[in-house]
């Protein structure tokens, strides 16, 4: 199987308005985070869930000095027609599966990696090397033993770099993961994206993003939009 760069069929950039809301606890240095991008490409059809779409998730930053420090509380807000993430790696013996598989990128060779579900915290060009081997509510063993992210419908899970490194510079964009799922499924997901920079700033910002669905904005974002509308009316 030839490894190719995924064609970019669509993209969604969702800036975290909640981070800008009055009363936010996110430090001002967080301005370097600019939003989430989800890209979509057609995936394989001979899978347990039929035709699939391959989604890649990115965190965008405006500073090359930033590093990614983790994804926390990754969870579903809503899901329709979702029957599991599809894996194709060393643990599935080269077959597509929703009951077996690993979330480690290094368990996917270059061919498998193009149609496999995995999580990462690296520069886009660093695949298949990944520093994401520690879990926040998602233990290292679960990266292999549980192909369907544990806790995804509850409190959520996360992934963070190995404390021993390496820590990858972001250089504008951080690859967070690839998720292969049924093309007819719709998922709205929330997470807290962590970052740090050489100026001493660091933090997590809550974001919503979607796979083939329309996310309802977080309460803080709704309040901000309402304030923006009120300000616009006053100007008129």
Q: Which of 74-78, 200-204, 211-215 has the lowest mean pLDDT?
A: 200-204
**Domain contains 1:** no
Q: Which residue do the tokens 């193009």 mark?
A: 114
Residue 3 lies in a domain: no
Lowest average pLDDT, out of 47-61, 75-89, 106-120, 142-156, goes to 142-156
CA-nearest of 131, 105, 132, 128 to 117 is 105
Q: Is residue 205 part of a domain?
A: yes
- Residue 2 is assigned to a structural domain of this protein: no
**Count of domains observed in the chain:** 1
- Assigned domain for 101 exists: yes
- 5 part of a folded domain: no
- Work out the average pLDDT over 196-209: 79
Q: Which sign, positive or negative, has the C-alpha torsion 175, 95, 103, 91?
A: negative
pLDDT in tens, 93-106: 889 999 999 888 88
**Encoded tokens for 144:** 């292999």
Q: Is residue 4 part of a domain?
A: no
User: Is the pLDDT at 45 greater than 70, yes or no?
Assistant: yes
CB proximity list for 5: less than 8 A, separation 6 or greater: none
Structural domain including 230 reads: 10-235
pTM: 0.76
Angle, CA of 116, 49 and 188, to the nearest 5°: 75
Structure token digits, residue 88: 């194709």
Q: Is residue 67 part of a domain?
A: yes
d(CA 168, CA 174): 9
Question: How far apart are the C-alpha atoms of 139 and 201, rounded to whole Å?
Answer: 27
Judged against a pLDDT cut of 70, whether residue 232 lies above it is answered with no
The 10s digit of each residue's pLDDT in 216-226 is: 665 444 444 44
Average pLDDT, the chain: 73
Predicted pLDDT at 155: 67
């Amino acid at each position: 199987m030839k490894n190719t760069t995924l064609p970019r069929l669509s993209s969604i950039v969702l800036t975290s308005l909640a981070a800008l809301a009055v009363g936010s606890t996110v430090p001002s240095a967080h301005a370097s985070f600019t939003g989430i991008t989800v890209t979509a490409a057609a995936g394989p059809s001979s899978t347990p869930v039929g035709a699939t779409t391959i989604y890649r998730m990115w965190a965008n930053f405006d500073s090359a000095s930033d590093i990614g420090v983790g994804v926390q509380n990754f969870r579903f807000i809503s899901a329709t027609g979702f029957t599991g993430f599809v894996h194709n790696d060393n643990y599935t013996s080269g077959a597509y599966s929703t009951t077996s598989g690993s979330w480690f990128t290094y368990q996917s060779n270059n061919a498998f990696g193009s149609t496999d579900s995995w999580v990462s915290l690296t520069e886009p060009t660093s695949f298949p090397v990944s520093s994401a081997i520690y879990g926040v509510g998602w233990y290292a063993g679960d990266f292999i033993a549980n192909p369907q992210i544990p806790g995804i419908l509850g409190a959520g899970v996360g992934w963070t770099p190995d404390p021993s490194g390496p820590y990858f510079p972001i250089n504008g964009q951080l690859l967070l993961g690839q998720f292969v799922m049924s093309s007819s499924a719709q998922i709205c997901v929330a997470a807290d994206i962590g970052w740090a920079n050489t100026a001493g700033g660091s933090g997590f910002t809550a974001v919503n993003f979607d796979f083939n669905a329309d996310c309802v904005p977080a309460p803080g974002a709704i309040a901000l939009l309402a304030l923006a509308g009120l300000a616009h009316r006053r100007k008129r």
